[in-house]
Amino acid sequence: MNHHGSHRHLLSRYPVAVPADVDAIIVPTARPTAYLEHVVALARHHGCTLVTLCSRRSSADAAAALAERAGVEVVAVDVADVPADLLPPLRTTAMLRGGRFARRTDTSLKRNLGLLLAAAAGWERVVYVDDDVVIPEPDDLRAAAGLLDRFTGVGLSVGGYPDNSVVCHAYREAGGAQDTFIGTGALAIGRESFTSFFPDIYNEDWFFLLDETGLAPSAVTGLAVQQPYDPYHDPMRARTEELGDSLAEGLFGLLDTGGGLTDATAAYWRGFLGRRRRFIDEVITMVRDTRPDGPAKRQVIAALKAAGGRNRLIEPRLCVDYLTAWRADREVWRDHVEATRRRCGGRPVPKLLADLGLLHRYRPRA
């Protein structure tokens, strides 16, 4: 088998729990402010703090103004103003920086900043929600939060447009049996999980949910609706996803068959990367056989070829070295979070933000 189309069996599905309050909703955002209207309404429904971590077409000023009009307590930060030393240097970032496998987004930075703020503020249960995700039933977040005494992460099941990599999108659309997994599009995490981190790579949320040996206890409940987008618009998307997609699919493929992370040796990666390349070639053939000729078909094939070309540059040694660096980073991040808790914990939010050196917009609840 060259590809595992689903990892859902690794999750506890729809367990029963007593709902719990959400302390904060954390939203990494790069889109115009209008995309925040849904999460503002969610925060108002739950009476919780909204944290918006802004860049590109979003701004802290605009996000704070939108939340203030709705009477929602908000912490809004322009990540360009975050002090360089607020987050620790990570080996997984340094080893890819400036090279062909470097990621060109600030998503992981924002999510790690959210973890640090949550830990320093003393919050117990927070939910990550992406700015292009809608939660039809707001109380699904309370149900997810209620499970955090038993699980590291509780994700909402993804409806609407599937949340997959470019390669897996093409596989599904060509007739393959492709599922989705939980992720930070809508993910509840608790205090004990703030010491995990999001590496700066595609599928960073899958890495967040891992511990030293495998998948930490994780569950799925409720529903989140992903808004549609075009995964094939730019072949660079597939290129930049490929290392993270290969690493995550390789590791979760081990877990699917009862293995553990210690089984991810150079020999394992050599075999897996060969299967991954054959899988991408198979998907190209499936697309050619099932899609009508035209620009859309050529665009999908161009994206798949981009992924395949990038995959052929991944060496087994890189995979082993990345996991070694990731393990070391877990310790660095854990120590940094605990030190920040000791230094800043228990302070009022405005004082906390100032002590962290964050330029921010803070509006208390009306």
Q: Indicate whether 366 pLDDT > 70.
A: no
pLDDT for the residue 348: 86
Label residue 217 by pLDDT band (50, 70, 90). Answer: very high
Q: Indicate whether 15 pLDDT > 90.
A: no
For tokens 């802004």, the residue is 54
Inter-CA distances, 122 with 73, 190, 337, 341, Å: 16, 11, 11, 8
pLDDT for the residue 14: 81
pLDDT for the residue 340: 94
CA neighbours within 13 Å on the CB side: how many for 126?
27
Count of C-beta atoms within a 10 Å radius of residue 351: 11
Share of the chain above pLDDT 90, in %: 92
Q: Indicate whether 364 pLDDT > 80.
A: yes
Locate the domains of the chain by residue range.
Answer: 8-230+328-363
Structure tokens that stand for 18 in this block = 């007593």
pLDDT for the residue 85: 93
Q: Per residue in 120-132, pLDDT tens?
A: 999 999 999 999 9
pLDDT for the residue 363: 79
pLDDT for the residue 308: 98
Mean pLDDT score of the chain: 96
Contacts of 21 (CB under 8 A, 6+ apart): 46, 47, 48, 125, 142, 145
Rg (CA), the chain: 20
pLDDT for the residue 54: 97
Inter-CA distances, 41 with 28, 56, 203, 260, Å: 16, 23, 28, 41
Q: Per residue in 267-294, pLDDT tens?
A: 999 999 999 999 999 999 999 999 999 9
Q: Per residue in 177-195, pLDDT tens?
A: 999 999 999 999 999 999 9
Q: Per residue in 69-85, pLDDT tens?
A: 999 999 999 999 999 99
pLDDT for the residue 361: 82
Q: Indicate whether 209 pLDDT > 70.
A: yes
Q: Per residue in 301-351, pLDDT tens?
A: 999 999 999 999 999 999 999 999 999 999 999 999 999 999 988 788 888
Q: Per residue in 141-170, pLDDT tens?
A: 999 999 999 999 999 999 999 999 999 999
CATH of 8-230+328-363, one of 3.40.1380.10, 3.40.1260.10, 3.90.550.10, 3.10.530.10: 3.90.550.10
Mean pLDDT of 83-91: 96
Mean pLDDT of 221-236: 97
Mean pLDDT of 55-62: 96
